[in-house]
Amino acid sequence: MWVTRVQLYDVFVELWLGVNRRRLQDSNLSQDDRRIFNDLLGAGFVSMGTGYAMRLALAIFERQNGNPIVQYTHLNDHDTWKAEFFGIDPNVRLLQESCPLTRAGNRFRFLHRSMLEYFFSRVVYNPVRTDDGSTTETETPSSTTHELDPSNPLFRRNWPIEPSIIQFLCDRVKLDSTFNQKLLSAANLPKTDTAVTTTTAAFNAITILVKAGIRFNGADLQGIKVPGADLSYGQFDSTQLQGADLMGVDLSRS
């Protein structure tokens, strides 16, 4: 059975957080830390740790344009966004110490840049893995429909400049037909909504789908707007593209 890169990372993260859950269970914690740890256990320690890492990855891309190193000193940064992840609050500290992060003095970062990209891709994909190993989705409008939530990072900027993130999302497409349908819906949004954000989402969505090997042979893509997209090696035989904005699109070997 072929195992994708994203599945390997899923397993690694679950094992990492599971080991740290057991470490804390066996540790001589203070009374306050034990109470907070028990609260985290009740909420699902693995899913809470995953959520922390996803939020941190999103903040790093939004606040630092993907610069992987976060510098934090409580005196200077206690009232900034960084305190949510590295402040002195015991809940924050327990999660930070349990996630796949490294620290050198006041500098924090994920174990490897690919780990940062993995967690960011999970923000786009938006799953929550429970401690029993099952997978659910966060309660957003996109969880009950085949549409991405407008707050999804795919609406904010073009992501093909981050090929590792795109590859993680391509793996998700191959594993999850619902995610596939959400991206297809996003690719068609500019047909009825000409906002810049929907065009951006369409650009990202069709890029991911093409890179994932999804075939568009005979598909109705009339009126889509994806100027500048890289659709090289895509499969578009007999695709309906009347009225589409394909200015600057790379269709080489398609």
Last residue of a domain, one of 117, 150, 165: 117
Domain count, the chain: 2
Residue 128 lies in a domain: no
Q: Does the global pTM surpass 0.85?
A: yes
Whether the CB-CB separation of 147 and 192 falls below 8 Å is answered with no
106 and 148 assigned to the same domain: no
Residue 126 lies in a domain: no
pLDDT in tens, 106-164: 999 999 999 999 999 999 998 545 454 444 444 333 444 578 899 999 999 988 788 99
Whether the CB-CB separation of 127 and 120 falls below 8 Å is answered with no
Distance CA 46, CA 125 (A): 17
Supply the mean pLDDT for the chain: 90
160 and 85 assigned to the same domain: no
106 and 149 assigned to the same domain: no
Parent domain of 62: 5-117
How many CB atoms lie under 10 A from the CB of residue 15?
A: 11
SS3 87: coil
